[in-house]
Amino acid sequence: MTPGARTGLEIGGAIIVAAVAAVYLPQLLELFALINATVWVSMAVLALSLGLVWGFGGILCFGQTAFFGLGGYTYAVASINFGDTTWAVPLALLLPTLLAAALGYLMFYGRISDVYMGVITLTTTLILFKFANSTAGDQWNIGEAPLGGFNGIPSTPPLNFPFAPDQQMVPEQIFVVAVICLAACYAIAKMVLRTRFGRVCVAIKENELRAELLGYDVRLHKLALFALSGLMAGLAGILFANCVFVSPTMFSLSYAGQVIIWVLVGGIGTLVGPVIGCVLVQWLTTYAGTLSWIDPNLLLGVVFMAAVLLVPKGLLPTASGLLAKLTGRGAA
Amino acid sequence: MTTLLSTEGLTMRFGGVTAVDGVTLSIDAGELRCLIGPNGAGKSTFFKCLTGQYKPSAGRIFWRGQDVTGRDSFALARLGIGIKTQVPSLFDGLTPMESVGLALRRLHGEAESRRRARRALDRLGIGALGERRIGLLAHGQRQLVELAMVVAPEPDLIILDEPTAGMSAEETNRAADLIRELNREHAIVVVEHDMHFIRAIARKVTVFHQGKVLMEDAAGRVFADPRVRDVYLGKAVA
């Protein structure tokens, strides 16, 4: 099978899974569970955005939540002021992309090394967390939208159909939109990685110096991939704002750390792995919350340590490796 | 003869240490030039200045008469300079076909890149390894894969930093044959300190010592010069 055909098959598979989920889950799940599922899907988009930039660009962004939170806040503020989400969505995609581009420009063109990149991105999200927390009071209103400090913006309007502010979507429709967005992000990431640009990004991750010596502008490629991941994280923020209200928690250290865990558990260097890792860990978190005999955070910590020690490559690459061995393709 | 690459008073300082001190030289089209010198002579620093990995403290670098001082490595590569580093610099997770294909994709379409990549690997005698993962290859094979990536885009000038480092005697002999063959189509600069290898390939040699050019002449005369012997044996040079 040619790589192009394989990519087509993988995208086709994702579309089928997304279509089945979009059709059947709204019928099967109760409202609370469906909203919860929408949160997981929005988080999966966030995990995918980090999986792309970390797994295929070698850029450890510890502050992916900066773009996630900015997407959510921009969407909330713009939709409240416009009274319509039609233009709020592109604006909420644009600002995180611009922030990622600006931050990426400073880091990549400033030749910042990998470790410091993690520190800078984490610091960025923590600065935004602090700032968002300090925006209580009328002086922090943007137009009609109060930033709300610690409480955030509880009155975030749900998505409406384009140019029809009176026709707001119900949770079932928002779930379908979220699933479509996840499938679209996966397909876009897959297709981007098939292009020359994507292959150069992977090559840069493998060996930055060699890619540069072959005549590729390493900094520009990293910047473009980083901006794309910022856009996806912003989209995740918009979806999240549609099922959970916007608050400084979106920028928090706990969220920033969780995304890293999802990608590590699912598998770096894959696109489906982070999505699986996200859903599994989210499910485990929810399940652990129902148990009275164990602290959920303790359980999560143990699971994370076990994952790192037992399946250091992540669940998906480990499972793929086992499958390849069983079918005899792993011999080489 | 057209001058491809030249330097004027190229100097590289690290704090109080002057690793390259006012080096002026020029490389003509079709030339095979060897830059030699003992460890610490400044060869590798000079190589890194030429290839954009270091920005020189002073002096100028010219490519076909155009000032290219301070340009990034990727910009120099785009001018038509192929660069091979001392330690093989490769994409371990990719195959040789993918890697050489990537070297060509900047210049050609997908199908043409694959065709040329196949030809480059065959030319270097590693066509059979095309679909193996580079991380699994032996050191000598990795050197050849890197050379294939450098050669495939058909650069005007190839700069090789210690191309035989870590190679067996047999592999070194093959590398010497290969460099002579490549020199039929490309100008080549070899930075090296293995004198046996230099003797096998050299026509014109530039000798570095303490960051400066000690002498530059035909290979035979350089090897016969007592100053060069003294440099390699550690005696003082007047």
CATH of domain B3-233: 3.40.50.300
For the CA atoms of A297, A302, A303, A305, what is the dihedral angle to 10 degrees?
120
Residue A141: pLDDT band (50, 70, 90) is very high
Residue carrying structure tokens 């590693």 = B126
Does the model's ipTM exceed the 0.85 cut? yes
Beta-strand relationship, B17-28 and B187-191 = unpaired
Looking at chain A, the whole-number percentage of residues with pLDDT higher than 70 is: 98
Most confident of A226-235, A279-288, B83-92: A226-235
Residues A64-116 pLDDT 10s: 999 999 999 999 999 999 999 999 999 999 999 999 999 999 999 998 888 89
CB-CB neighbors (< 8 A) of B95 in chain A = none
Q: What is the DSSP letter of A143?
A: T
Residue B61 has pLDDT above 70, yes or no: yes
**Number of other CB atoms surrounding residue A208 within 10 Å:** 18
> Does B68 reach chain A within 8 Å, measured CB to CB?
no
Range name among A97-101, A246-250, A282-286, B213-217 with the lowest pLDDT average: A282-286
Subunit contact B91:A203, Cβ cutoff 8 A: yes
Distance, in Å, from the CA atom of A186 to the CA atom of A201, rounded to the nearest integer, reads 17
Distance, in Å, from the CA atom of B129 to the CA atom of B122, rounded to the nearest integer, reads 10
Q: What is the DSSP letter of B69?
A: T
CB-CB neighbors (< 8 A) of B53 in chain A = 209
Residues B5-38 pLDDT 10s: 999 999 999 998 999 999 999 999 999 999 998 8
Please report, for chain B, the start and end positions of each structural domain, with discontinuous segments joined by +.
3-233
Q: Which two tokens stand for residue B192?
A: 């090296």
Give me the mean pLDDT over the A8-26 stretch.
Answer: 94
Please report, for chain A, the start and end positions of each structural domain, with discontinuous segments joined by +.
3-250
Residue A290 has pLDDT above 90, yes or no: no
Nearest CA in chain A to B91: A206
Which residues have a Cβ under 8 Å from the Cβ of A1 and sit 6 or more positions away? A9
Subunit contact A212:B72, Cβ cutoff 8 A: yes
Interface of A with B (CB under 8 A): 196, 199-200, 202-203, 206-207, 209-218, 332
CB-CB neighbors (< 8 A) of B85 in chain A = 209-210, 213
Q: Which of B72, B74, B90 sits opposite A207 (nearest CB)?
A: B90
pLDDT score of B229:
83
> Does B50 reach chain A within 8 Å, measured CB to CB?
no
Residues A311-327 pLDDT 10s: 888 999 999 888 888 88
Residues B161-170 pLDDT 10s: 988 877 778 8
Helix, strand, coil content of chain A in percent (nearest 5): 75, 5, 20
Q: How far are the Cα atoms of A54, A171, A179, A279, B122 from residue A313, in angstroms, in the given order?
A: 14, 36, 27, 18, 35
Within 13 Å, how many C-alpha atoms sit on residue A220's CB side?
10
Distance, in Å, from the CA atom of A76 to the CA atom of A86, rounded to the nearest integer, reads 12
Give me the mean pLDDT over the B43-52 stretch.
Answer: 92
Give one word for B135, left, alpha or beta, with left for phi > 0 and alpha for psi -120 to 50: alpha
